[in-house]
Amino acid sequence: MKNFHSNSLVSCAGFLATIKKKPFVKFPSILLSQRIMATNTKNSSDNKQLFEKSDRIAHFKQDVWSIFTPLAQQLKAANLGQGFMDFPPPDFIIEAATRAINNRNDHQYSHPKGRVNLKSALAKSYSPLFNRTLDPDLEILPTAGANEGLYAIFAAFVNPGDEVILIEPFFDQYIANITMNGGVPVFVPLRPQGDTNKIMSSKDWKLDINELRSKLTSKSKIIVFNTPHNPVGKVFSIEEMAEINKLAEEFNLIIISDEVYDRLYYEPDVHERIANLPGAWERTITVGSGGKTFGTTGWRIGWLIGPKHLIGAALSAQTRIVFCVNTPLQESLAIAFDLAEKHDYFKNMIEEYTRRREKLMKALTDIGLPYTIPQGSYFILANTAKVKVPENYPYPDVILQRPRDFKVCYWMAKEIGVVAIPPSEFYCEENAHLAENFIRLAFCKTDKTLDEAAKNLQKLKKYIEK
């Protein structure tokens, strides 16, 4: 992934040249038959070339998850790395899935538009949050996780050369989703205001709206916006969103609002939706995740909410990507949404995560490691600038070529017994230095894991300069 950015202009040019060589054309049947004759002449000596990765994926580096999650398992370290829960979903959600699985009629393909029950449950839950009566048929689309929903939107709207604005740090998956569809990512970082060597709020990570404006061109097509934010924990204010919305209007951009953590915000902050701003609905597609909402990241169900001209296009793409989404688990989520209110689930979830957040913040305060207090989501960025990692530590190659934060995370996993994620993965190569002093810690974990992490973090104390 980072290769792509390393010399982003050169790589972008290479990528676009490839696309020019092989334009996206329709194949009339006569052309297809000629193509079959041509390929019949190939023999096995061509295999070296045959098995070469496509230009679409050849530049991908090993992703951060497949480095640090296996490392955590291997070392049996306290895993605050990847953002999955290490506790089961509440019983009523498991029971919802059991009920759905036991229904013998719900095990076949669904309509690509998604299950009527889930769409109705989403419309019921989200209509008040969007201040409108959502049309479950045309304005809501269940997806195979937020990930696939995002991919479907890019496939639906990005033509080769279209520019997509990403606010750094960003969820790493966006990049591949954009470039695989021929788009060109353009980056604008959030910039922390004030002294990051002190405890600060995620509010203090600001988007410079003039810097954003300077990145917009006639090729800009989409801006991806994420609140509550991974990994900063920022919950954007209405005023901040209004500025982004104004630019989206001026430059005629589609807004992808990634709101997978929409149910996780901490007092006194509340989650607001950019789609609710004046004029924003028509250009905004909001992305949700059943995994984040119900602690079921392995179910791989998400959803898109937006006007019918955006949802319809995403549906066209999604039908040709996965055709349809997992039938029984869509039904399970429909039941889960219906039962959530009865169990006061969303309120309880915020209370539980507030407690987990306090626990991790206390552990960091105790050892004197500064951090950003998250207003939402379940991540804390800690600042490791003062941690003196021993020089000449034996890093494997996969870590050696990466920025400082990869080394800190690897060393911490091995020597301190706590796994964190290096956030430079969420920046383009040019801006990776902005993240090299930070580590991302996830607190969607049991008390046992958080307590073990707190205990192990004590070992870090002696490496922190006063």
Question: Which residues in this chain contact ligand PMP in the complex, by CB under 6 A?
Answer: 83, 145-147, 171, 226, 230, 258, 260, 289, 291, 297, 302
Least separation in angstroms between CB 171 and ligand PMP:
4
Runs of H (alpha helix) within 166-227: 173-179, 209-215
Least separation in angstroms between CB 11 and ligand PMP:
24
Q: Cα dist. 313→21, 274, 319, 352 in Å?
A: 26, 20, 10, 38
Q: Return the residue matching tokens 């993240």.
A: 435
Output the residue with the shortest Cβ distance to ligand PMP: 145
User: b vs e for 251-268, b when ≥16 Cβ sit within 10 Å of the residue's Cβ?
Assistant: bebbbbbbbbbbbbbbee
Runs of H (alpha helix) within 287-344: 290-294, 308-319, 327-342
Q: Which is nearer to ligand PMP, 89 or 145 (CB)?
A: 145
Q: Are strands 284-289 and 302-305 parallel, antiparallel or unpaired?
A: antiparallel
Least separation in angstroms between CB 4 and ligand PMP:
19
What CA–CA distance (Å, rounded) separates 115 from 327? 7
What CA–CA distance (Å, rounded) separates 261 from 440? 16
Least separation in angstroms between CB 141 and ligand PMP:
14
**317 in Cβ contact with 310 (< 8 Å):** no
Q: Which is nearer to ligand PMP, 126 or 411 (CB)?
A: 126
Least separation in angstroms between CB 226 and ligand PMP:
5
Q: Which is nearer to ligand PMP, 152 or 399 (CB)?
A: 152
Side-chain-side CA neighbours of 228 within 13 Å: the count stands at: 23
Candidates 328, 329, 288, 325; CA nearest to 306 is: 288
**300 in Cβ contact with 134 (< 8 Å):** no
Q: Which is nearer to ligand PMP, 417 or 422 (CB)?
A: 422
Least separation in angstroms between CB 126 and ligand PMP:
16
Least separation in angstroms between CB 462 and ligand PMP:
33
Q: What tokens appear for 436 in the block?
A: 């090299």
Q: Which is nearer to ligand PMP, 150 or 200 (CB)?
A: 150
Q: Which is nearer to ligand PMP, 129 or 260 (CB)?
A: 260
Q: Which is nearer to ligand PMP, 11 or 297 (CB)?
A: 297
What CA–CA distance (Å, rounded) separates 259 from 173? 15
